[in-house]
Amino acid sequence: MLAGPVSTPPAPMAAALAAQGIRWVAITWVNHAGAPLVKVVPLAGLEAAAAVGVGFSPVADAFGADGGIADGGIAAAHRLARPDGDLRLRADAVALAPLEPASGWAWAPGERFERSGEPYETAEKPALATINGLLLPGNPVFMGFLHGQSHADQIV
């Protein structure tokens, strides 16, 4: 039995997407270096991708972990710099959205889990949910991202 939330798409949803010409679903997540990563499943595999997930390696979180995003390298000393392990990326079917229907693509955010079904230790979403649960009612948290230009000689 898998632990954690599962958002399995109902069969009518898959049929409705197929009727719109959707053939592929891109499941995305962002690693700790800020690089968006993607796994693609055919529409017929969406239910399994939401319930069980698709495989990915923990090495994805070691890319640019030392701040070396520009060279795309793996930080060899990082504890996740290993090609072993089979983690699960589950599609959030509730948040699934068709992209340009004529292209045949839809998109769903991915949530990362261990094979046991427990949340992946470095996944941000479960950590944020825990923090959110610790907040007192009526005390909202506001978050944001700073985006700006740096010196002209640096990559922005």
Tens digits of per-residue pLDDT, 16-75?
899 999 999 999 988 777 778 899 999 999 999 999 999 988 777 766 645 444 556 666
Strand partners, 37: 29
Strands (E), 54-103: 54-56, 87-91, 97-98
Q: Is residue 111 part of a domain?
A: yes
Q: Supply the Cα-derived Rg of the chain in whole angstroms.
A: 18
**Residue 30 falls inside a structural domain:** yes
pLDDT mean across residues, the chain: 76
Q: Is the pTM of this model over 0.85?
A: no
Residue 149 domain flag = no
Residue 38 lies in a domain: yes
Q: Does a structural domain hold residue 4?
A: no
Which tokens is 156 given?
A: 């922005």
In a domain, 115, yes or no: yes
Beta bridge mates, 40: 26
- Domain hosting 62: range is 11-134
Number of folded domains in the chain? 1
Q: Are strands 54-56 and 36-42 parallel, antiparallel or unpaired?
A: unpaired
Region 126-154: what's the mean pLDDT?
A: 63
CATH number of 95's domain: 3.10.20.70
- Residue 144 in any domain: the answer is no
CB 57 within 8 A of CB 84: yes
Residue 64 lies in a domain: yes
